[in-house]
Structure 1
Amino acid sequence: MIEKAVIVQGRRRTVRLLPSIVTILALCAGLSAVKFALDGTLGIALAMIGAAAVLDTLDGRLARLLDATTRMGAELDSLSDAISFGVAPALVLYVSFLHQYSAGWIIALIYAVSLVLRLARFNTLLDDDNRPDWEREYFVGVPAPAAALTALLPVAIHEQFGNGWWNSIGVVAIWTIFTALLAVSTIPTLAMKSVSVAPQAAALLLVLVALAAAALVTFPLILLMVLVALYLGHIPFAWRSQRWVAARPETWHHKPSERRAQRRATRGRPGLRVSSARLRLRRPNSRNIPKNRNFPGGLPR
């Protein structure tokens, strides 16, 4: 019995190390992106950053699933994110396009520092117990993995279509700074754990996943461009959703389908008021309407 207990305890310790192992793999993938960029294989460098993003998503879910959340694991994850999504993309951009100009290193530093600041704020918010529960449905600013893939969009376009205006120093510098500003901004973005799929849309989602898997094999760079465009396009909707929930925090405990129905209901009323104002329509006045025997006081309001 004692031997079995020791074996079971040893297995539990090994299992609890799995999230940290995945985090280390993400760190190695991020650093390997710099190596491949130095070798001139930018496509593989992009793949390494993408692999780091996937592994970064898995390690947190594994930690919660296995109840293996530790302070050391959280610190390791934060350091891995700073290197994989802050330092590594900055170096890839510098090696690819920015090294030809003296201001290129400054642009790379701006991006790396912005991502580190974004991660520091994220850790601070995690320790804030005074935050309302509904705020945990949203990230503050663009998350580090999404920011890294967004910043590397000029590299993906260059690998797919060759040289063009998209890899000029001005465009790359503006895009890199724009991505850095999105990361450190307070713009709300949806957390994946808060996204729900209606049962009637499950089949469509599976078809889209199959198409994405096929595109990943045949046109991976095109898939990356589409995903970045979709992610940036969701930001205005996340901002409106966050404002709606902030004005009605009691709806946070409702089912997602109920909240969607409430949003549609409240969205229709302001539109009617705006259209009436634009058309300069006045509310019917019962004194100006001839009385009817079915409605003695005039038409119903």
Structure 2
Amino acid sequence: MITILALCSGLSAVKFALEDDLGVALAMVGAAAVLDMLDGRIARLLDATSKMGGELDSLADAISFGVAPALVLYVTLLDANSAGWIIALIYAVSIVLRLARFNTLTAETNRPGYTQEYFVGVPAPAGALIALLPIALYEEFGNGWWTSFAAVAAWTVFSAALIVSRIPTLAMKTVAVPPQAAAGLLVLVALAAALLVTYPLILLMVLDALYLLHIPFAVRSQRWVAARPQHWESKPSERRAERRATRSEGARRSVARLGLRRPGSR
């Protein structure tokens, strides 16, 4: 039921875009993304997972985050011409390819445990919200270079490239917050809630920027784990402790080496 609601929400974005209500169109895609995060968790919580549910989830994602955003961009900022249609097709196809690869990787049973902590490429909901960033800029700031056909086309292709890439990105369901950071996280959640009520488009821009900025960290983290098979089955918190210990040891060695170099020594 939640997956069907996500599908209806994402596809309704096209209706509101055709009616030139772009703010609501963005909200519909955002609601579909939230429902997509909830459906699997609730199904596992209620012990209601099924093969049909998994297939339905992929089909709904293809429409909500592939077809719907492509059509929204096409009828608004891609000028509804032939060149814009090609760009929209590139984006929609990238979402479908990404979902097909995700299903294939999920079916593999011999993958190391740490790979479940990373997505291969940008996931479909995040990719859709990144691709729709020019519409958020248009709604918030009006026309500008960010609404030109060239800029929107380039950004859409860039989003499609991130989606089909093999760049590792963090799976949010596996991110653990250290106890000492809980208070700061609650403050950020309160701030996000305030922005959602008062400046939702600004919040979308901030979230897009933060997501893009996290990618270098995810790449570095994944490479660190992949190069150390002894940590493949360790918990993320254990690996973070190991990395902190390694950095501290490296810092102590650097200080020790500097201490041996006295003024005037050769």
Pairwise TM-score range, normalised by the shorter structure: over 0.9
Structure 1: give runs of 5+ residues left out of the alignment: 1-20, 276-280, 290-301
Cα distance, 1:66 vs structure 2: 1.0
SS in 2 for 1:99: coil
Structure 1 position 26 matched with structure 2 position 6? yes
**Highest relative contact order (Cα 8 Å, sep 6+), 1 or 2?**
2
Alignment coverage as a number of residue pairs:
262
Inter-CA distance 104–71: structure 2 relative to 1 (3 Å threshold): same
Deviations 1:164-199, CA, capped at 9 Å, x for gaps: 000100100000000000000000000011100000
Corresponding residue of 2:147: 167
Structure 1 position 60 matched with structure 2 position 31? no
- 15, 30, 38: which one pairs with 1:50? 30
Mapped contact 1:154–1:166 kept (Cα < 8 A): yes
Structure 1 position 99 matched with structure 2 position 105? no
Cα distance, 1:257 vs structure 2: 3.4
Cα distance, 1:248 vs structure 2: 1.4
- 50, 55, 63: which one pairs with 1:70? 50
Corresponding residue of 2:176: 196
Inter-CA distance 200–274: structure 2 relative to 1 (3 Å threshold): closer
Inter-CA distance 265–108: structure 2 relative to 1 (3 Å threshold): same
Corresponding residue of 2:208: 228
Distance in 2 of aligned mates of 1:149 and 1:217: 18
Distance in 1 of aligned mates of 2:230 and 2:179: 24
Identity %: 73
Trace 1:274-289 onto structure 2 (pairs within 5 A): none
Corresponding residue of 1:117: 97
- 21, 24, 27: which one pairs with 1:41? 21
Cα distance, 1:252 vs structure 2: 3.8
Cα distance, 1:100 vs structure 2: 4.5
- 183, 189, 212: which one pairs with 1:209? 189
Q: Rg: which structure is higher?
A: 1
Amino acid at match of 1:68: A
Corresponding residue of 2:225: 245
Corresponding residue of 1:15: none
Inter-CA distance 33–191: structure 2 relative to 1 (3 Å threshold): same
Deviations 1:200-232, CA, capped at 9 Å, x for gaps: 111111111111011100000000000000000
Trace 1:134-145 onto structure 2 (pairs within 5 A): 134-145=114-125
Distance in 2 of aligned mates of 1:149 and 1:56: 13
